[in-house]
Amino acid sequence: IASQAAQKRGWHLYLVGGAVRDLLLAKEAAGDLMIKDIDLVVDGFHKTADVGAGVELAKELQQLYPAARLEIHGAFQTAALLWHNDPELDSLWVDIATARTEFYPYPAANPEVEASSIRQDLYRRDFTINAMALRLTPPRAGELLDFFGGLLDLQAKQIRVLHPNSFIEDPTRIYRGVRFAVRFGFEIEPQTEEFIRYAINSGVYDRTAQENSRTPALQTRLKAELKHILEAPYWKSALQLLDNLGALQCIHPTLKLDEEILRQLRLLERCLRRFDSQQTLIHWQMRLEALVIHLAPEYRGKVAQNLQLQEDSIARLKKFAQSFNQVMELLPSCQHPSQVVQLLRQYDLPMLILIALHSSRFLRQQIWYYLTVLANIQPILNGNDLKILGYKPGPQYRQILDDILAASLDKVIKNKVEAEEFLAK
Ligand code: ATP
C-alpha cells in the first residue's frame, strides 16, 4: 500500500537497513522471521519541495490506518507510524524517511540532513550488512540494491564498516558493530577492527566519555546502545568483545573488565534471578551500575549523569561509597537479627545487592539472609491489634510496632499472646 502511494506520486520506495538484513539472514538460514521495525526510504523526486516526501507518505498511510499513531520528526524529514498492541499487527514500528545524506560538522556530533538519492542514503550507514535496500516500487520491484557488498558479507559472516572514519564520526557505531557481531555470531572484519582501534587510539572515545555539553545526543545514543546490549541474552560476550577492543573507554577511560568485575557480574546474575519479580530491579541498569561502581568514587556520579541514567540510579552511584563503608563498619558488630534489620532497612534492594557484590563472603551471607528472610518478617501485632488492646492511636504506634518486630526477629516473642505479655511489661 505504501508502495502504491509512492508510485502514484512518481516516487520510488525502498525497504532499507535492518529489515533487509534480517530478511536475507532468515532466507540463508531458512528460518522464521518476525520484523517489528520497518525502515522505508522514499526517493526519485527532483523538486526540492518533495524533501518532505516521507512525511507526506506517512500521513496518507495514517489516514488508511487510523489505529496507527503518527510521529513526525521535522529536522530529519522522517515520520514514524506506530502500532501498539494492535489486535492484528501486535506492535509494529514503520519509519518513513526521505533519502538523505548526512554531514558531520565535527566528530561525534548529531547528523545534519540534506535530501539526496538512495545510494547516498545507503552510503551514510554504518555496516555493509545494514546498507542494503529492497526496491518496493515497479519497475524492478523486489530488486536488491547492494552497492557495498552487504550480501557477500552476510554470507561470509563479516561485520564490515563502510568508511574508515566511521567510528571517529560516531563512536556508538563500535557498540553497534559489537552488538551485531555477537548477536549473529559474525566476526568483525580485520580492517574494520583496525579502524576501531585507530579511533580509540586517536582519543575520540576519551572525549566522548568526558562531560561535554556539545555531545548530549551522543550520550543518549550511547545509553541506548548500552541498554540494547545489556538487556540482550548475549550481553556478557558483547561486554567481553567491547573490552577486548578497548571500547569500554567510551564509558570512562579507566573502565576495563577484570576477574573481579566478572565474578561480581556472575553473582549479580544470581541475585537478579532470585529477585526477578521485584519491579525495582531493572536488569540492564543493574549490570551497568555494577560496572560503573568499579570506577574510582569521584567518577561514578559523573559517568551516571553523562549517560543520563535514572535519578535513583545516579543517586545510588553517588552514595555507594558512603553506604558501603557504613555497612562494612556496622554489620560485623550486629549481634541480633533486629540490629541487622535496623541497619539494612535504610537501603533499597539495588543498593544492598551492589553492596553485597563487594562484600566478604560472610557479610554477603548476612545481607542475603536479611533480603530473603528477615526483611519479610512482619510484626506479630498490627495497628488494629493495638487499638483493640486499648492503645490510643498516635505516633507512638510506630515505636511500639518496631519494638514488637525487633522482639519477634530476635525470637523473644513467638506469638500474639507472648506479644501482649511483652507489651504489658
Ligand atoms: P536492530 O535489529 O538491532 O534494530 P537495525 O539495523 O534495524 O538493527 P536500527 O538502530 O533500527 O538498527 O537502525 C536502522 C538502520 O539505520 C541500520 O540498519 C543502519 O543502516 C542505520 N543506522 C542506525 N544507526 C546508525 C549509526 N549510528 N550510523 C550509521 N547508520 C546507522
ipTM of predicted assembly, 2 dp: 0.97
Which of 50 and 338 is assigned the larger pLDDT?
338
Question: What integer pLDDT is reported at residue 103 of this predicted model?
Answer: 41
Q: What is the mean pLDDT of residues 89-113?
A: 63
What integer is the mean pLDDT of 199-216?
66
107 φ, ψ (degrees, to nearest 5)? -55, 150
The whole-number average pLDDT for the span 238-263 is 93
Residue 25: phi, psi to the nearest 5?
-65, -45
C-alpha to C-alpha distance for 283 and 231, rounded to whole angstroms: 7
Nearest CA to ligand 1 atom 7: 18
Q: Is the CB of 177 under 6 A from ligand 1?
A: no
Q: Residue with the nearest Cα to atom 28 of ligand 1? A: 126
DSSP letter for 189, please.
P
Q: Say if strands 78-86 and 90-98 run parallel, antiparallel, or are unpaired.
A: antiparallel
Stretch among 13-17, 50-54, 311-315 having the lowest mean pLDDT? 50-54
Instruction: Give me ligand 1 centre to Cα 56, in Å.
Output: 23
Q: Which atom of ligand 1 lies nearest, measured to the CA of 228?
A: 3
How high is the pLDDT of residue 51? 67
Calculate how far, in angstroms, residue 380's C-alpha sits from the geometric centre of ligand 1: 57
Does the beta carbon of 18 lie inside 6 Å of ligand 1?
A: yes
Residue nearest to atom 26 of ligand 1 (CA): 126
Q: Does residue 170 have its Cβ closer than 6 Å to ligand 1?
A: yes
Ligand 1: which of 38, 96, 122, 126 to mutate, most ligand atoms within 8 Å of CB? 126
Q: Are the CB atoms for 247 and 225 separated by under 8 Å?
A: no
Q: Would you say the CB of residue 172 lies under 6 angstroms from ligand 1?
A: yes
Find out whether the beta carbon of 173 lies less than 6 Å from any atom of ligand 1. Answer: yes
| Cα distance between residue 176 and residue 184, in whole Å | 12
**Has this prediction a pTM greater than 0.90?**
no
Ligand 1 contact via 253 beta carbon (within 6 Å):
no
Does residue 101 have a pLDDT over 60?
no
Residue labelled with grid coordinates 507510524:
81
Three cell numbers written together for 365: 551471607
In 3D space, the residue among 259, 241, 242, 260 whose CA is nearest the CA of residue 251 turns out to be: 242
For ligand 1, the distance from its centroid to the CA atom of residue 184, given in whole angstroms, is 15
Atom of ligand 1 nearest to the CA of 131: 20
